[in-house]
Amino acid sequence: MEEQKETPPPIIDQLKEYAETQIKLAKYEAIDRSAKFLASFITDMVVALAFVLTFLFLSFALAFILSRWLGSNWAGFGCMAGIYLIIAIIIILLKDKMQQPLINLFIRKFFQ
């Protein structure tokens, strides 16, 4: 009996297999990157929500303290509204300087 030597697969088959492997790898990398981005986004949103709630309750506390010092609720809450108006004006004036760092942060976060 003659022994048959195993012949290597033709180069075309190897190239097809290589291409399929590369496509699978690209899919897995895309899934991995998407999952990391989504997890990071959800975590950041939970942290942001915690900060917003903390800020909200501290604002109410400060408004009530101001109300007690000024002797009326509307005056305390009015002062808080004025503080927020000043903050909003500052943010509007600094909008252009704030945009680019935020854009860079989101791009870095996406490509992590």
Q: What is the mean pLDDT of residues 66-95?
A: 94
CA 74 to chain CA centroid, Å, is 37
What's the confidence (pLDDT) of residue 40?
A: 86
Q: How far apart are the C-alpha atoms of 62 and 45, rounded to whole Å?
A: 25
Residue 56: both structure tokens together: 């909200």
- Per-residue pLDDT reduced to its tens digit, 13-62: 889 999 999 999 999 998 998 888 888 889 999 999 999 999 999 999 99
- Asked if 78 contacts 66 with a C-beta cutoff of 8 angstroms, the reply is no
What's the confidence (pLDDT) of residue 4?
A: 65
Q: How far apart are the C-alpha atoms of 77 and 60, rounded to whole Å?
A: 8
- Per-residue pLDDT reduced to its tens digit, 38-48: 888 899 999 99
**pTM over the 0.85 mark:** no
pLDDT of 77 > 90? The answer is: yes
Of the pLDDT bands very low, low, confident and very high (cuts 50, 70, 90), residue 3 is low
Across all residues in the chain, what is the average pLDDT?
A: 89
Torsion of CA 51, 56, 57, 63, to 10 degrees: 140
Of the pLDDT bands very low, low, confident and very high (cuts 50, 70, 90), residue 82 is very high
